[in-house]
Amino acid sequence: MSPRISVDLSSAVPPYEQIRGQISSLIAIGVLAAGSRLPTVRSLAADLGIAAGTVARAYKELEQAGLIESRRRNGTIVVGHPAEPGSTAAAPGAEVIAAVDGLIRTARAAGVSDETIIDLLRGRLASKLEG
């Protein structure tokens, strides 16, 4: 399976970050539902042609973020939303995806570049933490 994960070695974003971000998005979207098994670090590393330690680092950060969970021999599985342990089938992020897409549409209509959208989001997130 290893659904749609790929790395671009020529990118400025390091491979472990690409892997982490892609898996994070897939989980948030619901493509990787709670309980899904992620590929083993060795198999994913082999598929991507990189070292196992690189994949392991991505998994480690995802686990620290509470998105996945490692069972030693059983591999790595996706953790469900902390608040909703029962809901298995429903994609939890449909509303969030809609909000993201709406933001992209609004921003582009206003002539705001993609980079600036991210800058803005970062800035608002930071200020919402403080205030």
Partner DNA sequence: ATCAATGTACTAAGTATTTGATACAAAGAT
Partner DNA sequence: ATCTTTGTATCAAATACTTAGTACATTGAT
Which residues, at least 6 apart from 37, have a Cβ–Cβ distance to it below 8 Å?
A: 75, 76, 77
**Binds DNA by CB under 7 A, chosen from 24, 63, 97, 117:** 63
| Cα gap 26→40, rounded to integer Å | 17
57 makes contact with DNA (CB under 7 A):
yes
115 makes contact with DNA (CB under 7 A):
no
How many H helices and E strands in the chain?
5, 3
Handedness of CA 47, 52, 54, 60 (dihedral sign): positive
Instruction: Tell me which residues in 68-87 interact with DNA (CB under 7 A).
Output: 70-76
Complex with a second copy: residue 83 or 89, whichever CB lies closer: 83
Complex with a second copy: residue 73 or 82, whichever CB lies closer: 82
**Binds a second copy by CB under 8 A, chosen from 49, 111, 130, 131:** 111
40 makes contact with DNA (CB under 7 A):
yes
Q: What is the DSSP letter of 32?
A: S
From residue 38, give the alpha-carbon distance in Å to each of 44, 93, 106, 108, 129.
9, 19, 35, 35, 32
Complex with a second copy: residue 53 or 114, whichever CB lies closer: 114
Give how many residues touch a second copy by CB under 8 A. Answer: 46
Q: Rule CB under 7 A: which residues touch DNA?
A: 12, 14-17, 38, 40-43, 50-54, 56-57, 59-60, 63, 70-76
